[in-house]
Amino acid sequence: MKNTKRISFGLVFISLFGLSACKSTNVQRVDVNQEIALTDKWNDKDSQLVASAMVDDMLSFPWIDQHLKKEGERPAVIIQRIRNKSHEHIPVETFLNDLKRSLLRSGRVDFVASNDVRNDVRAERSDQELNASANTQNAMGEELGADYALSGSINSTVDQDGGKRVTFYQIDLRLIDMTNNREVWNGQKKIKKYQERSSFGL
């Protein structure tokens, strides 16, 4: 009887050990530029590709050369809002940072800080007036005003039949002249992804 119990306990132990071994996790670092698409959802590569395509298109339109000819300096752009109207959570801020970095890297556009950032900087200027030496203070009322406002939206549709699914994203951006509300650029980028598996979860 005792031997039977020992054998049973040993089998249970081996089974538990085997299950834990099957659940081992392997983690490795990969190149951040390498696309690893585990699903058909929006990912970091989509953000980079859309930002790059939008910037190339924006800078190819005549508005920027017209502005340089008229004003003699780079246009200043402020981002108002990019609305996520898609079926999933998309980190819009990551996409906006990719967009801003590409535009700033081009050397042809300046960016005006968002409202939240401006308020923080203004608080710092107020603090400087009280605590910083006169020759290192940054004066109030010297901010760069935006010439153009950038806004847009991210939309998506999903078409599914059994284990097959097509996810479609459409990103629309527009640039508005803040002097006269004229739309000087309208950009659009589309992404379509096909995924096939035995079944999809809800």
Q: What is the pLDDT of residues 138-177, one digit of tens each?
A: 888 777 889 999 999 999 999 999 889 999 999 999 999 9
Q: In this structure, is residue 173 part of a structural domain?
A: yes
Q: Is residue 3 part of a domain?
A: no
* pLDDT classification of 36: cutoffs 50, 70, 90: confident
User: Is 110 domain-assigned?
Assistant: yes
Cross-strand partners of 175: 150, 185
Question: Is there a domain that residue 142 lies in?
Answer: yes
Residue 75 domain flag? yes
What distance in Å separates the CA atoms of residue 35 and residue 47, rounded to the nearest whole number?
Answer: 11
Number of domains within the chain: 1
Structural domain boundaries, residue 122:
41-196
Residue 26 maps to a domain: no
Percent of the chain with pLDDT over 70: 83
Q: Looking at the domain assignment, is residue 7 inside a domain?
A: no
Instruction: Judge whether residue 16 has pLDDT over 60.
Output: no
Residue 184 has a CB neighbour count (10 Å cut-off) of 19
CATH number at residue 51: 3.40.50
**AA letter at 42:** W
pLDDT of 67: 96
**Average pLDDT rounded to a whole number, residues 47-56:** 93
Task: Establish if 192 belongs to a structural domain.
Answer: yes
CA 20 to chain centroid, in Å, comes to 38
Query: What span, in angstroms and rounded, lies between the C-alpha atoms of 87 and 135?
Result: 53
From the number of C-beta atoms within 10 Å of its C-beta (0-12, 13-18, 19+), residue 176 rates as: middle
Phi, psi of 105 (to 5 degrees): -65, -30
